[in-house]
Copies of this chain bind each other. A is one copy, B any other.
């Protein structure tokens, strides 16, 4: 049985919603659950909401990393935080996967320095599952602001392995986020990356993808630097929210529109679902030697439960050893070419 290390501090709704989410996961998915956080707070929150803590292990962590903390605090000043303790337990083998809603920068830094990266991978990356039909893995979604074509090639390989193993896509189509379809488009980074991606036989490269094609089933893995990835992701989030607000206003206009809203209730709920993305769980940190999942800072119980489900699936899969083998093969081929 997998042992899931659950950081119940950090994020906007800690600890209550995260404990609720962990409890819901425990009811649904067979695993060993280790909650990490301020023990008194955890027990108090659980008591108030009548959440039974039997069957959970609790590991006390005296401090919390906040959104304002510098990313390096996880290995410097806040080594007794829930995040640092969880990552150390994962590194030392006291757990099989770690889930956290905390500070993304700190989690990425901590995962890289404490859990360490997969041998042969130059830079780990954060994948984000875009709530499309079918889902698209955006990699990198914000961790690596400056990248090289070689990083992007590895992101493509890691992203493909993830979509194959976790989402069952047989031969994931990899696209390069760019400002046009032609191979001459973009900055030096995109032009060089295009060459690497299109000449790698292990990558099912489908070419450059413009922002408006991301939503039109153009690829399964969308490769980019963390800066552009963040712009894309946040713009989608913003437009999704704008859509929901606009619809809400539309339906509240008058008695007729309110009646129409009643007729459409089922359909509206499904739109809400498809635009919010919490169904899909969290963002996997790829290239880290053990499974680390970043849940959205605003996660409520359901989203957090889904992130835990994803951590279990990640841990059950052979993804990390796949990525290790793929990185080794890539590096050996590169060596042979030079």
Residues of chain A whose beta carbon lies under 8 Å from any beta carbon of chain B: 142, 145-146, 177, 179-180, 186-187, 210-216, 226-228, 230-243, 246-247, 250-251, 253, 256-257, 259-261, 263-264, 267-268, 271, 274
Q: Are B226 and A179 in contact (CB under 8 A)?
A: yes
Q: Are A240 and B238 in contact (CB under 8 A)?
A: no
Among A142, A146, A213, A263, residue most surrounded by chain B Cβ atoms (within 10 Å): A263
Q: Are A238 and B257 in contact (CB under 8 A)?
A: no
**Complex contacts, A213 vs chain B, CB 8 Å:** 234, 238
Q: Are A267 and B250 in contact (CB under 8 A)?
A: yes
- The residue that A211 contacts in the complex, of B179, B226, B231, B257, with Cβ under 8 A, is B231
Q: Are A246 and B233 in contact (CB under 8 A)?
A: no
**Complex contacts, A267 vs chain B, CB 8 Å:** 250, 253, 257
Q: Are B232 and A235 in contact (CB under 8 A)?
A: yes
Q: Are A243 and B241 in contact (CB under 8 A)?
A: no
Q: Secondary structure of the A side of the interface? A: helix
Query: How close is A133's CB to chain B, nearest CB, in angstroms?
Result: 10
**Complex contacts, A253 vs chain B, CB 8 Å:** 267
Q: Once bound together, how far apart are the Cα atoms of A180 and B67, in whole Å?
A: 12
The residue in chain B whose Cβ has the minimal distance to the Cβ of A250 is: B267
Q: Are B228 and A231 in contact (CB under 8 A)?
A: yes
Q: Are B233 and A211 in contact (CB under 8 A)?
A: yes
Q: Once bound together, how far apart are the Cα atoms of A134 and B261, in whole Å?
A: 27
Query: How close is A226's CB to chain B, nearest CB, in angstroms?
Result: 7
- The residue that A215 contacts in the complex, of B180, B239, B247, B274, with Cβ under 8 A, is B239
**Complex contacts, A145 vs chain B, CB 8 Å:** 179, 186-187
* 22 examples of A-B residue contacts, CB within 8 angstroms: A145-B187, A210-B230, A211-B230, A211-B237, A212-B234, A212-B235, A212-B237, A213-B234, A214-B235, A216-B238, A228-B231, A231-B235, A235-B239, A236-B239, A239-B240, A243-B243, A250-B271, A251-B264, A253-B267, A257-B263, A257-B264, A259-B260
Q: Once bound together, how far apart are the Cα atoms of A236 and B186, in whole Å?
A: 19
Q: Are A231 and B142 in contact (CB under 8 A)?
A: no
**Complex contacts, A232 vs chain B, CB 8 Å:** 211, 231, 235
The residue in chain B whose Cβ has the minimal distance to the Cβ of A238 is: B212
**Complex contacts, A256 vs chain B, CB 8 Å:** 263
Q: Are B179 and A227 in contact (CB under 8 A)?
A: yes
Q: Once bound together, how far apart are the Cα atoms of A237 and B179, in whole Å?
A: 13
The residue in chain B whose Cβ has the minimal distance to the Cβ of A268 is: B250
Query: How close is A237's CB to chain B, nearest CB, in angstroms?
Result: 5
- The residue that A236 contacts in the complex, of B216, B227, B235, with Cβ under 8 A, is B235
**Complex contacts, A259 vs chain B, CB 8 Å:** 260, 263
Q: Once bound together, how far apart are the Cα atoms of A216 and B247, in whole Å?
A: 16
Q: Once bound together, how far apart are the Cα atoms of A144 and B13, in whole Å?
A: 42
Q: Are B260 and A242 in contact (CB under 8 A)?
A: no
Query: How close is A147's CB to chain B, nearest CB, in angstroms?
Result: 10
Query: How close is A238's CB to chain B, nearest CB, in angstroms?
Result: 3
Query: How close is A213's CB to chain B, nearest CB, in angstroms?
Result: 7
Among A231, A251, A259, residue most surrounded by chain B Cβ atoms (within 10 Å): A231
The residue in chain B whose Cβ has the minimal distance to the Cβ of A242 is: B215
The residue in chain B whose Cβ has the minimal distance to the Cβ of A209 is: B234
- The residue that A228 contacts in the complex, of B210, B227, B251, B260, with Cβ under 8 A, is B227
